[in-house]
Structures are given as structure tokens and as C-alpha cells.
Structure 1
């Protein structure tokens, strides 16, 4: 399992904000459910780009259609 956030750049740290209802599992980087506040309960997650992910998994030579 890869424990990074897929993003346009690698090696950044982004906040994934917890939902107001803790029984829900969907976290958000925009915290829209809490009026976009930058405070509150969150997870810090390191990012990885698509290219870096493919390289790290030795998939860079495979053809992938999106």
C-alpha cells in the first residue's frame, strides 16, 4: 500500500481534514465541510506525483490510459 497523496508535485505535505462526523471516512484537502478553515482535526500526508509513483513501482514503461 502506498501511504501518500496523489498530487501534481512530490514531497509536499498536505492536510487532509477530518469530516465533522467522525464515523465518516472521507477526508478533504479543502475543508469545505468546515467553512474552509485551516485549523481543525487533520492528517498530514506527503504527496507523490503520477510520474514518481510510476517510477517507484517500476511501471514507467507501461502504457496507461486515463
Structure 2
């Protein structure tokens, strides 16, 4: 059985955080809730940034 690297698992979780942030932002826009829009946008940015950073190959990694 092949075990996934922890970075890949955390990157997959970051994708779902980004999707939840997008959903929260849209929900906040539809129901006029500025706090939900701000937190959703922050979650979206954080999720995408973590995804990109975690899947970016490091200098010491040998594939």
C-alpha cells in the first residue's frame, strides 16, 4: 500500500477550505452579511495560498 505524503493530504484539505471560503463568501453576499464575506474571503485566500505552498516542490526534495 502506498502512503500519501502528509503535504499532499494537507494540500487536499486546503482545497476544501478554499471551497468552503468561496461558499461562505457567496452566502454572505446573498444575505448581506459583511462579516461572513470577509471571513469567507480570508479562508479562500488562505486555502489557495496553502495549496500552492504545499505543492510547490522544495529545493531539497528528490522526486
State the TM-score, normalized to the length of structure 1: 0.27
Identify, as 1 or 2, the structure richer in strand. 1
Identify, as 1 or 2, the structure richer in helix. 2
State the TM-score, normalized to the length of structure 2: 0.28
